Amino acid sequence: MGSPEAGGVSGRGTDRLRVGVLASQGDFMAHERMLRELSADAVAVRTAEQLADLDALVIPGGESTTITKAIDRDGLEPAIRSHATDDRPILGTCAGMIVCDRDHLGLIDATVRRNAFGRQIASFETDLELAGIGPDALRAVFIRAPWIESHGDGVEVLATVDGHPVAIRDGRVLACSFHPELTDDLRVHALLMAMATAARDERHAVEPSAAEGRSTGE
């Protein structure tokens, strides 16, 4: 199959994808807007119950210490973990990437360095080539951004800046240093949704009765 494009991910006549956006702190509404543009049902997630049965989860940028405290305070960690162990995709952006790393939730086999680009060049934009979204460069907005300091062999580096990984994929987790929700380029979210569609198809292949139960009247 080719690279995931916005048009190819949605509207295949099946149920819409339910994608949660962790709404403890940060710029979650911009993510919700993008997901809706891609025809997903976007859900602002603040409780463990809202994490049940999501097709994918976005952990947005913001302030990683604040997000980590909110996850603790609201008791969300077990539900985020079962989402991940159930092989349901996750996208962590900027502070969300930090929250996913080995020193935090451990959802990616990588260690992230906070504020890695230094405070002097706290924010910048650049064009990135990002593996998996097609040949056109992606305009990427970095705000007090982290980079991947080290990672395991199973981690696929999708994009780098000055030799430092700024977008990776580890199994069903995508993580990027920048803010894909701050431009009008939908391709990173479309990639997440393509991963979510594949994961949902696999779940239904394992349990066909779960997929068909509703139409057979039970």
176 is an active site residue: no
Q: How far is the CB of 135 from ligand GLN (least distance, A)?
A: 27
Token pair, residue 174, equals: 């995508």
In the bound state with ligand GLN, the residue whose beta carbon lies nearer, of 69 and 201, is 69
| DSSP SS3 for 82 | helix
Considering the candidates 83, 151, 181, 189, report the single residue annotated as catalytic: 181
What's the min distance (Å) between Cβ of 102 and ligand GLN?
Answer: 16
Q: How far is the CB of 80 from ligand GLN (least distance, A)?
A: 17
- Of the candidates 212, 193, 210, the one whose C-alpha atom is nearest the C-alpha of residue 42 is 193
Q: How far is the CB of 65 from ligand GLN (least distance, A)?
A: 6
Q: Which is nearer to ligand GLN, 5 or 63 (CB)?
A: 63
Per the residue annotation, which of 31, 32, 94, 151 is the catalytic one? 94
Give the DSSP H/E element, type plus range, for residue 138. Answer: strand 138-143
Closest CA to 86 of 101, 107, 103: 107
Where on the chain is the footprint of ligand GLN (CB under 6 A)?
61-64, 94-95, 98, 114-115, 143-144
Sign of CA dihedral 157, 171, 11, 17: negative
**Is 95 or 138 the residue whose CB approaches ligand GLN more closely?**
95
Task: Kindly give the interhelix angle for 28-37 and 187-206, rounded to the nearest 10 degrees.
Answer: 70
6 Cβ contact partners less than 8 Å away, ≥ 6 residues apart: 38, 186, 187, 190
Nearer to ligand GLN, 94 or 128 (CB): 94
φ/ψ of 149, rounded to 5, equals: -80, -45
Active site residues: 94, 179, 181
